[in-house]
């Protein structure tokens, strides 16, 4: 089956319209963009964790009257590193997560040579990135009930996103707190 991989850099509304036009024309869209990550009937997938959310596609096609086309998205690049690891630990009462990301310039669609300000520099704030890193995991860990996406409420995540002068490859430091009492009935917290 032919499909479109969408990795355009345009404003969100334009991206939304282009992706919907492809899906409406019968072509499945797999998107790297953030434009449709919070569209209620669009699954946001890390395949190892929530492939079962693909059941939303049936509801999406039905409500929009699309026969073959649909839209599926991937999450923000930084959460792809630590969410799969935390997923394996979730059942042990994962409660609170403090994250610091150290993100390469490739994540901004840039290179060190085309971004001279990044030479010998660190930028301790990436607009929008902290919020994405805190709320996108809750959709990944959410559940689909009667065609509706219900967000997870735990863990509570706090993130600091830092741009570092590295060409490729993000680094993440994760501190996780587990609610051992809720999980085991015994009174103890563990980091
Ligand atoms: N880089 C990452 O780690 C990362 C992670 C998650 C999500 N994303 C998202 O993925 C998308 C692409 O990011 P990127 O880092 O790959 O950016 P990028 O290197 O700047 O690439 C953007 C591409 O979009 C093309 N483009 C721009 N306007 C277009 C239009 N009107 N029609 C068709 N193509 C158009 C550009 O073509 P030209 O080169 O011809 O201008 C370029 O090839 C963005 O939405 C970004 O937010 C990126």
- pLDDT at 181 (0 to 100): 72
Here the CATH number for the domain that contains residue 40 is 3.40.50.720
User: Which of the listed residues 53, 73, 93 is the one where a domain comes to its end?
Assistant: 73
**Ligand 1 proximity of 33 Cβ (cutoff 6 Å):** yes
Q: Report how far ligand 1's centroid is from the alpha carbon of 187 (Å).
A: 49
Q: Atom 1 (ligand 1): residue with closest C-alpha?
A: 107
Whether 87 is catalytic = no
Please tell me the pTM assigned to this model: 0.92
Q: Among the atoms of ligand 1, which is closest to the Cα of residue 76?
A: 6
In this predicted model, which residue has the larger pLDDT, 118 or 186?
A: 118
Of 12, 45, 73, the residue at which a domain comes to its end is 73
How many folded domains does the chain comprise?
A: 2
Q: Are residues 101 and 183 in the same domain?
A: yes
- The predicted structure's pLDDT at residue 34: 95
Residue 107 beta carbon below 6 angstroms from any ligand 1 atom: yes
Same domain, 50 and 114: no
Q: What is the pLDDT of residues 94-108, one digit of tens each?
A: 999 999 999 999 999
Mean pLDDT, rounded, of the chain:
94
Query: Do residues 56 and 82 share a domain?
Result: no
* 35 and 116 inside one domain: no
Q: Say yes or no to pLDDT of 185 above 80.
A: no
Say if ligand 1 is within 6 A of residue 101 CB. no
What pLDDT is recorded for position 191?
58
User: What's residue 180's pLDDT?
Assistant: 73
pLDDT in tens, 11-45: 999 999 999 999 999 999 999 999 999 999 999 99
Check whether residue 84 and residue 48 sit in a common domain.
Answer: no
Residues 55 and 97 in one domain: no
- Domain extent, residue 47, equals 4-73
Which of 59, 77, 87, 183 is an active site residue? 77
Q: Whose CA is nearest to atom 18 of ligand 1?
A: 109
**pLDDT for residue 182 is more than 70:** no
Q: 40, 73, 106 — which closes off a domain?
A: 73
Task: Say whether 77 is catalytic.
Answer: yes
Closest atom of ligand 1 to 107 CA is: 3
Whether 119 shows a pLDDT value over 80: the answer reads yes
Q: Which atom of ligand 1 is nearest to the CA of 33?
A: 45
Q: What is the helix, strand, coil percentage profile of the chain, to 5?
A: 35, 25, 40
Give residue-wise pLDDT tens across range 62-93: 999 999 999 999 999 999 999 999 999 999 99
Q: From the alpha carbon of 106, which atom of ligand 1 is closest? A: 1
CATH assignment at residue 125? 3.30.360.10
Q: Is 182 in the pocket of ligand 1 (CB under 6 A)?
A: no
Contacts by 148-157, CB closer than 8 A, 24 or more apart: 148/40, 149/40, 149/41, 149/43, 149/53, 149/56, 154/94, 154/95, 155/86, 155/90, 155/94, 155/95, 155/96, 155/97, 156/95, 156/96, 156/97, 157/96, 157/97, 157/98, 157/99, 157/133
Residues 84 and 17 in one domain: no
């Amino acid at each position: 089956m032919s499909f479109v991989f969408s990795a355009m850099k345009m404003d969100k509304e334009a991206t939304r319209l282009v992706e919907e036009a492809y899906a409406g024309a019968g072509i499945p869209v797999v998107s790297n963009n953030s434009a449709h990550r919070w569209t209620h009937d669009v699954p946001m997938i890390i395949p190892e964790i929530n492939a079962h959310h693909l059941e939303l596609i049936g509801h999406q096609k039905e409500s929009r009257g699309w026969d073959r086309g649909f839209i599926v998205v991937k999450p923000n690049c930084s959460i792809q590193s630590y969410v799969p690891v935390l997923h394996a630990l979730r059942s042990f009462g994962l409660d609170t997560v403090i994250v610091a990301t150290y993100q390469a310039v490739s994540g901004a669609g840039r290179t060190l040579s085309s971004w001279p300000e990044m030479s010998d520099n660190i930028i301790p704030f990436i607009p929008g990135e902290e919020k994405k890193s805190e709320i996108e995991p809750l959709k990944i860990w959410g559940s689909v009930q009667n065609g509706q996406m219900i967000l997870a409420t735990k863990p509570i995540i706090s993130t600091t996103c830092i741009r570092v002068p590295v060409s490729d490859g993000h680094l993440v430091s994760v501190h996780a707190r587990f609610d051992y009492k809720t999980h085991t009935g015994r009174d103890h917290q563990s980091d």
